[in-house]
Amino acid sequence: MFENVRQSFQSVWAHKLRSFLTMLGIIIGIAAIIAIVSIINGTNKKIQENLIGSGTNSVYVRITESGDLNYDMAYGGIPKGFKVLDSDVRDQINEMDHVLDASLYVFREGSEDIFYNSTQLQNGTLVGGDSHYLHASGNIIYKGRNLVEDDFTNFRKVALIDSVASEGLFPAEDPIGKVLDIKGEIFTIVGVFQQAKEFAPEINSEEDYDTYVSGRSSQGVVLIPDVDWPMVAQFDEPQNVIALADSTDTMTDVGKSVASFLNEYMGIKDSANVKYRAEDLTKTAEKTQQLANSTNQQLIWIAGISLLVGGIGVMNIMLVSVTERTREIGLKKAIGARKNKILIQFLTEAAVLTSTGGILGTIAGVVAAEVWSKMEGARVAISYPSIVIAIVFSMIIGIVFGLLPAVKASNLDPIVALRHE
């Protein structure tokens, strides 16, 4: 086999220009596929990050009604069958597969009852959370302090605000130590938090903006200890849950597991209108990715035509090679070469020819993807499995389209071949 490969490379090198032109269809086809796949992967990652946020694997499991609508207890009251959760429930969720941390919380979106002096926090979210809230939601303190155990045991009226609320309420002041009026109750700000990993989404079009906005939920968050929630809501409420998954890929499974556990714990049937449901941003991302992929897959099929044309070119040049080397084949047969040896030799030559084209096409595809990235500012992600598949596929093309010439060569009559001029 090694000798066949060596001879194949010698044959390719002996006819450099002809071999290159023969490989050109393979090179173009493989390059196009590698470039398109790289752009598809980059686009998908950008969509996922724009929607979910880089490094934030938090899954929100909320009490909802009529599908995906958050249940508003301020208007509907506590739904039948729901009860307040305790730390034992949180501990059980923490022990689930792929869950790094969990938090119990209640919230009001679009709250209009948060003021600093006469300045109102517009469209803010008021959250009553436990001591796990910041970590589970992918946030960290960057100014002041976090909520501590004494805040919960002593029912201290303290609050944390996020960086958006800080900019809205305190554009030129240090918020630490300032007080907020929340539904007539005075809370002292002890800290400001932000996302643990800063993330600037790639927004190059209106579609990118819509995708990013769909993943955002508020214009500022105010967090108070959950023990203080009855002071502003006037009653205890069954909580929602944030589960921190160990990766973006496991978010969907974690969300389903937590929602199923909570509904079972509450005795809520699957057919119930009001129940716990996981906010599945990854599914929304997948739908957006599918729209992008459907167009790109058509481009892959078009690029695949280049491979078909390249394969036909290989068959043609190998038939020419058989004709040119008829006397050589006859001589080999005359001295005892068997049909299978001749067959393998020509198949190896065809495979070497297309594999070389596949390698050159892969290099060209990677370069084309990087050039596209620089010129258009688009995200690309090189897929190494696709590179391996492309090279193997190019070798298969050589074997398939080289089979007819190889069979023709192996079936030559040695006497007729030796008489060939």
pLDDT confidence of 215, banded at 50, 70, 90? very low
pLDDT confidence of 284, banded at 50, 70, 90? low
Which of 79, 74, 80, 99 minimizes the C-alpha distance to 89?
99
**Pair 276, 268: CB distance under 8 Å:** yes
pLDDT confidence of 412, banded at 50, 70, 90? low
pLDDT confidence of 100, banded at 50, 70, 90? very high
Q: pLDDT at residue 3 above 80?
A: no
Distance in angstroms (rounded) separating the CA atoms of residues 128 and 107 = 6
Q: What is the pLDDT of residue 247?
A: 84
Q: What is the pLDDT of residue 413?
A: 63
| Percentage of residues of the chain with pLDDT beyond 90 | 31
Q: What is the pLDDT of residue 166?
A: 93
**Pair 279, 62: CB distance under 8 Å:** yes
Q: pLDDT at residue 34 above 80?
A: yes
Q: What is the pLDDT of residue 250?
A: 86
Q: What is the pLDDT of residue 272?
A: 86
pLDDT confidence of 203, banded at 50, 70, 90? very low
Q: What is the pLDDT of residue 207?
A: 47
pLDDT tens across 88-99, in order? 999 999 999 999
pLDDT tens across 102-144, in order? 999 999 887 778 999 989 998 889 999 999 999 999 899 989 9
Q: What is the pLDDT of residue 192?
A: 96
Instruction: Calculate the average pLDDT of the chain.
Output: 80
Query: Which of the pair, 239 or 399, is modelled with greater confidence?
Result: 239
* Least confident stretch, 61-70, 248-257, 279-288, 401-410: 279-288
Helix (H) or strand (E) holding 278: strand 274-278
Q: pLDDT at residue 369 above 90?
A: no
Q: What is the pLDDT of residue 29?
A: 83
Give the Cβ contact number of residue 312 at 10 Å: 13
pLDDT confidence of 209, banded at 50, 70, 90? very low
Distance in angstroms (rounded) separating the CA atoms of residues 361 and 191 = 55
pLDDT confidence of 169, banded at 50, 70, 90? very high
pLDDT confidence of 241, banded at 50, 70, 90? very high
Distance in angstroms (rounded) separating the CA atoms of residues 30 and 24 = 10
Beta bridge partner(s), residue 221: 125
